[in-house]
Every structure is written in structure tokens, then in C-alpha cells.
Structure 1
Amino acid sequence: MKPYTQTTLSALFAACALAFSLPAAAECEFFSSNSSAPYEISLIKCGSSRSSSYASSYQPLSPDKRQFNQAYQAYEKQDYATAFNLWLPLAQKGDKVAQFIIGALYRDGQGVKQDYAQAAQWFLKAAQQGNAKAQYSIGLMYDKGQGVKQDYAQAMQWYQKAAQQGLAQAQYVIGVLYHQGQGVKQDYAQAAQWFLKAAQQGFALAQYNIGGLYRNGQGVKQDYAQAMQWYQKAAQQGYAQAQYGIGVMYEGGEGVKQDYTQAAQWYLKAAQQGVAKAQYNIGVLYYEGQGVKRDDAQAMQWYLKAAQQGHADAQNNIGVLYYNGHGVARDLQQARYWWGLAAKQGNQDAINNLKLLNRR
């Protein structure tokens, strides 16, 4: 399991991609969503009042401010080499935002040869000046051992500094580390506290995960109403795993009246975003006619989508449909093929089905 993945500079302040699981069908897939431009850069360029702490540092240095914006314009045009060459002198003068950006360019190999050691050095310079995103980024590099020797204690130290400044990504990562017990003693209560901080800032992954903790009673008292509330917040931001989780709760009647129609609607939202479990579940509902009109062809369509992602139960069910000729012409060879795929993954139903087929 790779706990972290790289993001582009444009996505640097979006969700960090982590691999993290919650039990009882409350898994979480972490993603990186792209914003239109680096957060600090766009604020300075646009003169937003929210960037006053950064913009004020440029007011006495208008040539530097112009150079910064020229670099940003070059970056937007994907002229990364020019952007790098314009930002580098500003970073060398000690500007913490430029230092942070140079670190990101070195890390991502944009406009310069990828160099994690250089990236770490520049992130560290900006972090030591209090740049929260740089603190988070150098923490990430210590966590992964990129450009620096892996050091979970250092990673946590920098995550904490960024989190104390209110950076939701850092708060979220600390929650993940406490949940996994990576570099710290496993502590679900601490995980819940940090997820909650990030969730209250609208961070979708944290909203989903605090929902999962409430659903499973990890670190907090089990509370299905709270779980549903946080799943809903994440789902409203389009987070597919939360949409799937809502479907599970409606199907199982967890904290809500059992409602197959609602379950089907939420599964469909997640399925359309490619969540294999949701694709499988909506397939089951179509096959059983629960919450939707029975439609074997639709069931087959969704089973196929899940099966193509390696979902063993979906592969088994496709075999069943082919065997019975439901929603598709009867085809024992196809049944054998799909059961074989599922059986290779240890699916016991598929193994039993193959045994029955071989007795014919």
C-alpha cells in the first residue's frame, strides 16, 4: 500500500492522495482534485484581500511583484522553464512563496530536472519562514523519504506546524497517521479529532472519514445520524465513496428507514464515477428489482463495469447470468470464463459453480 502519491503544482493544495481503509464497507479512496492554479499565486495575481499577508510583502518591491506575476503567466501558458527562471531569483532573495513554488517545481520536474533533494531544501526554507503549505510539503517528503531520509517524527512535526495554522490537508493527514498508527501510537480518538478539524473546513475526504468513524464507533461513540450527516457533506461535493456509503446505509437501514430507492439512487451516483462496489451493488438491485424495476440487461451492464475492475462477486454474477440466460443469451463458455476469473480471486461461489458446471 502506497500511502502517498504526488500531485501537480496546480493540485498542491487539493486533497492529498493517501491509501487508508476503514472497516465494515467504509473504505476510503484518496484522490487529488485539481484547482485552476496554485493558491498563493492566483491570490497574489488577482490582488485578493485574502492574500494580504503575501501581497503586503510585495508592496515595497513592485519590480519583484511584476516578476512574480510574469512567472505565473508563464506557468499558466505551460512555459515552465521561464516560470522557474523568473521565480528562482525571488526565492533566492528569501521570498517564502517563491521558495515554496520552486520546491514544487523541483519535485514535479516542471521547468527543471526533477530533484527531490532540491525540492526538500526549498520546501524547508519556506517552511522555516512559516509557509503552511511548505510545512505540509516538507512533512510529506520526510514521510515518504523523498530527498531526505525517511523520518516519521520529522514528518509529524511539520504536519503539526501546518495543521496549527489551519491547513486542512495537514489536519487530515495527521488523522490518517493516528488511524493507521504510522509514526505514532494508533489512536482512533486522535484520528477523529483531526479528521473533524479538517471536515469542518469542508475537506471532503475528512468529512467522509469522520463519517466512517461515527458509523463504526471508532474513536467516537457510534452515531449513525452523525455518520450520515458527514457522508452527505462529502457526497454533496461529489465524493463518490461518500455517495456509496450513503447507499449502504439506506440499503441496510443504518440510522435511517431502509429505502432501496434511495440506496439505488446513491449507488448510481457513485457507480457513474467508477466505484466498483457501487457498480456491483446497483447491478444487484437491478437483478433483484429492489428500488428499481427489475432489468437483467442493466444488471449485466453494471456487473461488467465492476468486473472489469476486478470485482470478484461481479465476475461470479456475470457467470450466473450467462449460465441462466438472464439479460443475455445463454452461453456456458462465457459462464465458465467469468467464474474462472472470480475463482482465481478465491471467490467460493464461483469455485462451487465451476464444480457444478464440470459435472455436466
Structure 2
Amino acid sequence: MTASLLAVLPPEAVIAPAQADETAAAASGGPPSAPAIDLLVQRAKEQDPDAQYTLAVLGLTGKLGKQEPASVIRLLSSAAGRGHREAIFLLGTLQLKGWNMPADPVRAAALFTRGAQAGHIQSQIALARALYDGNGLSRDRQAAATWFQKAADKGSGVAQTNLGLMYLRGDGVQQDAGKGLALLTKAADAGLPGAQYNLAAAYAAGEGVPADPTKAQALFSQAAEAGNQRAQYEYGLHLVTGKFIAADPREGMKWLLIAAVGADRPLASQARETVKRLTPTIGNAAVIDAGELSKQWLTKRQWQQVKTQ
């Protein structure tokens, strides 16, 4: 089992206001009031990059009603042209994903480079990933490690996780299992589900560290409970098969069923196929019990999400 580098955070996970004033605060809550919108529009016309960015975020998240995508892009482009780091990053992310424009990894990488050089953590991570994958730039994993390090030094758990995996494997850096383990542990202890999953996978397979089924099971459980779909799938599979960790087929099937309805469609499809394949092994009664447990978990999860909105 080989854990992969984490994906760069999607736009919906990173579009947060840059400032703490009333213009930026409008993007973090519910729909802003009419006077707040008027103030934002006036400031945007005056070429205030914070107002332009906040209006773009509000438009992108649907808090201004139906907005023309071209208007969002114009606002972001204007703010980015004035050096607004969050706007630079978000514009690069939309460019990379081809949001209402042709996908252009080269232009996206150029934007990430601008943001990274200005000290923006998420841009540094995005640039590191572009360098690691060779997406929009020539592949250079040593340079990728350098940018992950810059973001990790500023406390980014995503960067710490990616850099930790690189050190565990000697991927773009000289292999240093101790350093890799320390970085992954730091991110996992901070509650990052992706770090918990990757650290669990390392302990389960003994990748760069001595195999430790107890630690692997605890970390898989934490990441799965936190909603990491990959962890839910891997944890469930290992519980059913008894590979790497102690077997608990009913609990394992519960996690496979939860992974089967996750947002990652290819992984969900894989989980459904795995459930079908393993059902004869553990029996229909255990699968029915697991189905009830999965429904209870999903209901609880949905209720928790409603309460935090």
C-alpha cells in the first residue's frame, strides 16, 4: 500500500476573505446586506483589491444571486493585478481547473509562482504540487520540496504531510524517515485527516517506519471518523480482511459502505465493488448490520454539519 501526495485544496476549501474588516467578513457568513453590497461595489469601482476579491468570492459562492462568471474573473484579475495574494491564488486555482475558461496549467503555475514568492502559503503548496507533478512546469521534485518546506515552516499541515511523505520515501529529498515521521505526526496531531490517513498507511505497511498495527488502527479510525473517504475505504478493507490490523468484518463493512457514498466518485465506485466482492465472505447478516451502523454514522455526521452551519 503506497500513500500518495495530498491533492491541492479545491477552490471551495480556500476561498476565505483576506482581511478582517466588514468587506471581507461579508464572504464568510450568510448573504450580505444590501448596504454592505453597495459599499463593496463602491470600493471595487475605486479599485480596492480587498473589495474586488470579496465580491468575487461572494459571486463564486452564490451569495450575490446569479452572477456572470466573466464578472467574477474580471474582479479577481483586477485584484490580482494589484498584488492581492488570495486573488492571485484563487484565480490560479480556477485557471487550473478550467472554471468557465479553458484550463491552462501553465498560466495557473505562473500565478501560483507569483503568490508563492509573495509568501502566500496556499500558493506555495500549489506551486510545490505543480512542480512535483510537472503540471504547467517542468517536473522538479527537489524544488517542490523547497516550496513545501516554506509552507510547512509556516504551519501548513498539508505541506507538512506532503513533505513528510517525500522524506519517508526519499522522493526529491534525501531519505530521512525520522524527519518524515516527525512532519506527518505534527500534522496528524494537529487534526489533519489527510495526515492521519497517510501516517496510518505508513505504520500499516511499514513504509519508512517500523510497522505498528496499533498506531495504524488508531490513526485510520481518527481519519475515517473525521470524514476522510480514502481512510474510510482503506480502514474498512483492512478490518474486513484482517490485513495489517485486527479483523472486525462488521465494522469494516460499515466503513466500506460509508466510503461507497462519498464525494470521490471513482473511490465510491471502488468501495461498492469491494462490498459486493466481500459480502459472500462475511455473510448477508453482517452486511445488514453494517448497513444500519453506516446509516447511523451518516445521519450523525449530517446533523453535526447542520449544527456547524
Aligned length: 278
Q: 1:25 is matched with which residue?
A: 3
The structural deviation recorded for 1:173 is 0.8
> What is the aligned counterpart of 1:124 among 77, 81, 89?
77
Q: Would the alpha carbon gap of residues 207 and 319 (structure 1) be closer, same or farther in structure 2, given more than 3 Å must change? A: farther
Q: Which residue of 2 aligns with 1:336?
A: none
Where does residue 292 of structure 2 map in the other structure? none
Quote the residue 1:197 is aligned against.
Answer: 150
Q: 1:149 to 1:317 in 2, by over 3 A?
A: closer
The answer for the alignment partner of 2:297 in structure 1 is none
In structure 1, which of residues 290, 301, 319 is the aligned counterpart of residue 280 of structure 2? 319
**Equivalences for 1:189-268 in 2 at 5 Å?**
189-268=142-221
Q: Structure 1 residues 296 and 161, CA, compared in 2 at 3 Å: closer, same or farther?
A: closer
Aligned residue among 31, 34, 39 for 2:18: 39
**Amino acid in the other structure paired with 1:232:** T
Deviates more, 1:107-116 or 1:225-234: 107-116
| CA displacement at 1:114 relative to structure 2 | 1.9
Q: Once the two structures are aligned, what percentage of the paired residues are identical?
A: 29
CA drift at 1:171: 0.6
- What is residue 108 of structure 2 aligned with on the other side? 155
Q: Do the aligned partners of residues 133 and 297 (structure 1) sit closer, same or farther apart at CA in structure 2, a change above 3 Å counting?
A: closer
In structure 1, C-alpha distance between the alignment counterparts of 2:27 and 2:162, rounded to whole Å: 38
The worse-fitting range, judged by mean Cα deviation, of 174-183 and 112-121 is: 112-121
Q: Is the 8 A contact 1:108 1:114 kept in 2?
A: no
SS in 2 for 1:174: helix
CA offsets per residue over residues 146-192 of structure 1, 9 Å max, x none? 46555444333322221111101111111111122121112212222
Task: Report the CA distance between 1:217 and its aligned residue.
Answer: 2.3
Structure 1: any 5+ residue segments left out of the alignment? 1-22, 46-67, 330-360
The 5-angstrom pairing of residues 104-143 of structure 1 reads 104-143=57-96
Task: Calculate the TM-score normalised by the size of structure 1.
Answer: 0.66
**1:192 alignment partner, SS class:** helix
Instruction: Report 1:50-61 matches (<5 A).
Output: none
The normalised TM-score by structure 2 is 0.75
1:50-96 Cα shifts (integer Å, max 9, x gaps): xxxxxxxxxxxxxxxxxx5xx84697452365433220111111222
Change (3 A) 1:73 1:254: closer
Residue in 1 that maps onto 2:299: none
Correspondence for 1:168: 121
State the distance in 2 between where 1:306 and 1:129 align: 43
Q: 1:213 offset after TM fit, Å?
A: 1.9
Change (3 A) 1:37 1:244: closer
Mapped partners of 1:99, 1:265: distance in 2: 45
Q: Once the two structures are superposed, what CA deviation does each residue of 1:302-348 show, in whole Å capped at 9, x if it has no partner? A: 4443455332445423331128x8x579xxxxxxxxxxxxxxxxxxx
1:85 and 2:64 are equivalent in the alignment: no
Using the TM superposition, give the Cα deviation of residue 134 of structure 1 relative to its aligned residue in structure 2, in angstroms. 1.7
Quote the residue 1:182 is aligned against.
135
Structure 1 residues 108 and 300, CA, compared in 2 at 3 Å: closer, same or farther?
Answer: closer
Higher relative contact order (CA 8 A, sep 6+): 2
Q: Is residue 55–residue 75 contact of structure 2 (8 Å, CA) maintained in 1?
A: yes
Superposed CA RMSD in Å reads 3.3
Instruction: Report if the CA contact (8 A) 2:41-2:51 is conserved.
Output: yes
Change (3 A) 1:130 1:307: closer
Q: 1:268: how far off?
A: 0.9
Greater CA radius of gyration, 1 or 2?
A: 1
Aligned mates of 2:103, 2:27 — CA distance in 1: 34
In 2 relative to 1, CA 315–270 (structure 1 residues): closer, same or farther, beyond 3 Å? farther
Letter of the aligned partner of 1:301 in structure 2? Answer: K
